Structure 1
Amino acid sequence: MPEIKRITLPYQASLLSLYQALRSLPYPALLDSNHDEFPDTRFDILVADPLARVCAKQNTFHLEWRDEQQAQPLYTITKTDSPLALLEQLLTLSTQESWAKNAPKELPFVGGLLGYYAYECGHYVETLPDNVQHDISLDQLSVGLYGWTIISSHAEQKTELIITPWCSQQEEEKLLSLINKALDNTDKPLANQALDGISKAASFALKAPFTSNMTAHQYQTKFDKVKDYILSGDCYQVNLAQRFSTQYTGDPMDAYLRLREVCPTPFSAFMELGEQQTILSHSPERFLLCDQGRVESKPIKGTIARGATPAEDKANADTLLASEKDRAENLMIVDLLRNDLGRTCLTGSINVPKLFALESYANVHHLVSTVEGRIDGADQSIRVFHESFPGGSITGAPKIRSMEIIDELEPHERSVYCGSIAYFSVNGQMDSSITIRTLVADHGQLHCWAGGGLVADSKYHEEYQETFTKVGKLTHTLEDDFLK
């Protein structure tokens, strides 16, 4: 009976240098936990060269097999009318493999699906209007079926190459050759190599400062419109975002490494999607986790800037914890997520073990709650994810009406912002982020976004400033270090 292979590598506190060694392969992706800054984060994951890829954009989608010209595809797929249904079918077929059923449960990813969902994938879940300008060329969905992975388990200080029976001997040998070359060519820890040489002379450069797609007056007009909708009873909360854009040259990896250094987050990711298309995500927010049947979501709602001194910082944190407005906002989203998870989790399994907990990052404090449920079946995690997408913390409540208002008021597509980067392992494990604090590099254009949840007692100046507080660490760092 075929089984997965587990090949032990020298422990890597970061997989950045191994990513550099493998990034010439198609569709590489690094899920980067910044374990040194966030010791509770357990794993880093690196993949590349998928056996197949599902991609979608504005009501067209397809499944492409890597070896379609040379051999029969791995599975025969029944025709579907949705890329989400196609992905669910692909995961179900994969989890039925005998080796997948026997795969170790303690590993987060042993092969399976990994990729990103843009915010606009919500159109595959609900019937929604589409009036925004689509000016970003990235697919709205790009998920690969990966046959090998490198995992660093930080709690055990162990790095492994996981090879599934989907991989040929030739592919395994090529992969090991690339890895061994990277390991042999260094006399320093690999975790430090990719961080060397980050300076103003790096190849990455901005051509101009970031500019918003809204003036302050335009934002206020949209803010007032949201308040009108809330007061008329259309909704309770709407997440209104603005987009910041510029042009760049060079390698976005330089930008990612610099941002990783100054604003580390536990759900960081670097994904290359083809010629001049890259995702640089520095998200602090989990969307959904599935760990041996337990589903967890940790919505963020409530933000305040860090203080300049320890005393000011503590005062700001105490203010956030005591804020009735932020607590009410957070509770709305907790209720929304309880409803979303209730669509697919086992009856009676939904609970809220943590409400209004404080989490602190480089530039802000956040108010974070935890919602849990349970599922049964290794292929059910993707159904929970799809039925809950996009995360309620970045839409508003009620979700569908809020998304309709977002479509009406925001001039451009959100793309990867407020979507998710996710993996669905054949052993039933799953984890995903909400892609806030995320940049999209697209053929010389660089975009990032920031928004906030507007409620009845929101104040324009506070909400407008909060968007700059959230995005400022990203934009100011890149402008200070890379603007020529």
Structure 2
Amino acid sequence: MARAIFETTTTDFLLKALNWSKRFETVCLFQSNGFQNQYSKVGSLLAVGAKEEFSANVGSAFADLEKFKSRFPNQWIPGFLSYDLKNEIEDLSTEHPNPLEFPDAYFFVPEILIELLENQVIIHSESPDTVFEAIQLADNLDISYLFSGKIKPRMDKSRYFEAFESIKDHIKKGDIYEANLCQEFYGENADVSSPEALYLNLNKLSPTPFSSFIKVRDKYIISASPERFLAKRGNKLISQPIKGTAARGKNKEEDQQLKDNLATNPKEIAENVMIVDLVRNDLTRSAIPGTVEVTEKLGIYTFEHVHQMISTVSCQMDPSLKDTEVIKNTFPAGSMTGAPKISAMKLCDRYENSRRGIYSGAIGYFSSDGDFDFNVVIRTILYNHSKQYLSFHTGSAITIDAHAAHEFAECYTKASAILKALEQKL
């Protein structure tokens, strides 16, 4: 592909580009919203059109993805992995229905790749000038949209409490130490007049480091994820599990108090430490021996609607392994399962009453220089336009010290930005 740099106003250009992209069946947008650290690579990246596609369901998805990826060295390949791929990795199954009908894995080689920088864009395509001119001629995306439908919880309060107590009993028996119990919120006969505009509004309401928008024909992913699942930078692997959540305060003093309480809360600290140990164990399967380390422990980070406790675990990657093997060795994210991982996943399947699908999976990219970066799919709307089915999940960790009312409320706190974007109240 050719490459060209153009001077432009980035915000207006993105609105034009999203409107122009509607003519394509495949679109992917990543935005970091200014959250940058030493591992950051992408600020704002738009991939449009599919020269080649990979789509698979549970079976041999990881091996087949590696074959697909190996055909396109030195190219960007964005896509997603469903949580249900756990059933390919371990002896697990999922009996819940799949109304969204997303594939379990999807990746594509873009026809056009656009890097949006401050006051300039870099376009990679067969004809960058033609692409730039076409976008410049497009109208700005209309950022207004309508959502019709009624969002309902799949699990009411009494049913959630029953599931909570059942998992708590397993913890008391020693079957597990922690489980991430999730619940679905869904709308049938749902219609979103402009998924692109809904994404922009959610991103405005809840800007996060791993925000993404994916369109694959009639299926849309609208994500405001704050969590990195796994990144590769050179020969280094980085995972940044989130465990520990507190709501934002009504004023500066209350907000600081809630933040301080999170930092010293024994239950939240225990959650994080358990998952850090799980991630360390997962990474040892892909690491040069002796290189796994916790480089940040129990960091407190503030987002628009919540404070989060985030730790960072890293290692030097075993050079004999393929990228897809490394991802498979750590998938799905331990922050969304519990510990021990396999036992927790089995119990979550038993007591949750919906299929997670893409939720708890990963969205990200393999980059042209051999790196990769994937988020954890949380705070995310999944929408099948043809089926008129819209869904999102929230979850929270159950430990021996957890209280059902607090964890139930945390699920609704995590849902607040999405409900606001859909202008729904529960």
The answer to whether the superposition gives a TM-score over 0.5 is: yes
State yes or no: 1:8 paired with 2:1: no
- Give, in whole Å, the separation in 1 of the partners of 2:5 and 2:421: 37
State yes or no: 1:230 paired with 2:171: yes
State yes or no: 1:244 paired with 2:169: no
- 8 Å Cα contact 2:54-2:68 kept in structure 1: no
1:183 aligned residue (136, 159, 177): 136
Taking a change above 3 Å as real, the CA distance of residues 8 and 350 of structure 1, as seen in their structure-2 partners, is: same
Deviations 1:166-185 (A, max 9, x none): xxxxxx13x64232122256
Which residue of structure 2 aligns with residue 53 of structure 1? 53
- Give, in whole Å, the separation in 2 of the partners of 1:424 and 1:244: 31
Deviations 1:163-209 (A, max 9, x none): 4xxxxxxxx13x642321222567xxxxxx44xx54xxx3422222x
1:283 aligned residue (202, 207, 225): 225
- 8 Å Cα contact 1:288-1:298 kept in structure 2: yes
Taking a change above 3 Å as real, the CA distance of residues 455 and 378 of structure 1, as seen in their structure-2 partners, is: same
State yes or no: 1:90 paired with 2:65: no
- Give, in whole Å, the separation in 2 of the partners of 1:93 and 1:349: 31
SS in 2 for 1:50: strand
- Give, in whole Å, the separation in 1 of the partners of 2:346 and 2:138: 54
Which piece of structure 1 moves more, 245-254 or 363-372?
A: 245-254
Q: Counterparts of 1:404-423 in structure 2 under 5 Å?
A: 404-423=346-365
Name the amino acid aligned to 2:77: L
Which residue of structure 2 aligns with residue 74 of structure 1? none
- 8 Å Cα contact 1:91-1:379 kept in structure 2: no
2:247 aligned residue (286, 290, 305): 305
Deviation at 1:130, TM superposition (A): 1.9
State yes or no: 1:115 paired with 2:79: yes
Which residue of structure 2 aligns with residue 453 of structure 1? 397
SS in 1 for 2:208: coil
SS in 2 for 1:48: strand
Deviation at 1:145, TM superposition (A): 2.8
Which residue of structure 1 aligns with residue 101 of structure 2? 137
Q: How many residues align?
A: 417
Which residue of structure 2 aligns with residue 160 of structure 1? 122
Deviations 1:414-461 (A, max 9, x none): 111111102112421111110100001113221111000100110010
- 8 Å Cα contact 1:94-1:426 kept in structure 2: no
Taking a change above 3 Å as real, the CA distance of residues 11 and 434 of structure 1, as seen in their structure-2 partners, is: farther
Q: State the identity %.
A: 29
- Give, in whole Å, the separation in 1 of the partners of 2:45 and 2:341: 32
State yes or no: 1:467 paired with 2:411: yes
**Cα RMSD after superposing both structures:** 2.2
Taking a change above 3 Å as real, the CA distance of residues 398 and 158 of structure 1, as seen in their structure-2 partners, is: farther
1:261 aligned residue (194, 197, 204): 204
Q: Counterparts of 1:329-368 in structure 2 under 5 Å?
A: 329-368=271-310
Name the amino acid aligned to 2:174: G
- 8 Å Cα contact 2:30-2:46 kept in structure 1: yes
Name the amino acid aligned to 1:373: C
- 8 Å Cα contact 2:99-2:389 kept in structure 1: no
State yes or no: 1:221 paired with 2:166: no
Deviations 1:49-73 (A, max 9, x none): 22222212354xxxxxxxxxxxxxx
- 8 Å Cα contact 1:245-1:447 kept in structure 2: yes
Deviations 1:325-373 (A, max 9, x none): 1111101111111111111122222111100001111111000000011
Gaps spanning 5+ residues in structure 1: where? Answer: 60-81, 101-110, 164-171, 187-192
SS in 2 for 1:411: coil
SS in 2 for 1:89: helix
Taking a change above 3 Å as real, the CA distance of residues 343 and 379 of structure 1, as seen in their structure-2 partners, is: closer
- Give, in whole Å, the separation in 2 of the partners of 1:302 and 1:439: 22
- Give, in whole Å, the separation in 2 of the partners of 1:420 and 1:136: 17
- Runs of 4+ in structure 1 off by over 6 angstroms are none
SS in 2 for 1:49: strand
Name the amino acid aligned to 2:342: I
Which residue of structure 1 aligns with residue 327 of structure 2? 385
- Give, in whole Å, the separation in 2 of the partners of 1:322 and 1:239: 21
- 8 Å Cα contact 1:21-1:179 kept in structure 2: no
- Give, in whole Å, the separation in 1 of the partners of 2:120 and 2:192: 37
Deviation at 1:282, TM superposition (A): 0.6
Q: Counterparts of 1:431-446 in structure 2 under 5 Å?
A: 431-443=373-385, 444-446=388-390
- 8 Å Cα contact 1:115-1:143 kept in structure 2: yes
Which piece of structure 1 moves more, 332-341 or 419-428?
A: 419-428
Gaps spanning 5+ residues in structure 2: where? Answer: none
**Structure ID, larger Rg:** 1
Deviation at 1:89, TM superposition (A): 2.3
- Give, in whole Å, the separation in 2 of the partners of 1:227 and 1:375: 36
Deviation at 1:310, TM superposition (A): 0.2
SS in 1 for 2:364: strand
Q: Counterparts of 1:391-402 in structure 2 under 5 Å?
A: 391-402=333-344
- Give, in whole Å, the separation in 1 of the partners of 2:183 and 2:94: 17
Deviations 1:131-155 (A, max 9, x none): 222222111211113354222355x
- 8 Å Cα contact 2:184-2:394 kept in structure 1: yes
- Give, in whole Å, the separation in 2 of the partners of 1:438 and 1:248: 17
Taking a change above 3 Å as real, the CA distance of residues 372 and 33 of structure 1, as seen in their structure-2 partners, is: same
- 8 Å Cα contact 1:54-1:83 kept in structure 2: no
- Give, in whole Å, the separation in 2 of the partners of 1:288 and 1:158: 29
- Give, in whole Å, the separation in 1 of the partners of 2:138 and 2:87: 47
- 8 Å Cα contact 1:287-1:298 kept in structure 2: yes
Name the amino acid aligned to 2:21: L
Name the amino acid aligned to 2:32: S
SS in 1 for 2:91: coil
Taking a change above 3 Å as real, the CA distance of residues 352 and 465 of structure 1, as seen in their structure-2 partners, is: same
2:90 aligned residue (126, 130, 148): 126
2:372 aligned residue (430, 433, 441): 430
- Give, in whole Å, the separation in 2 of the partners of 1:386 and 1:11: 40
- 8 Å Cα contact 2:17-2:138 kept in structure 1: no
- 8 Å Cα contact 1:118-1:420 kept in structure 2: yes
Q: Larger % of strand: which? A: 2
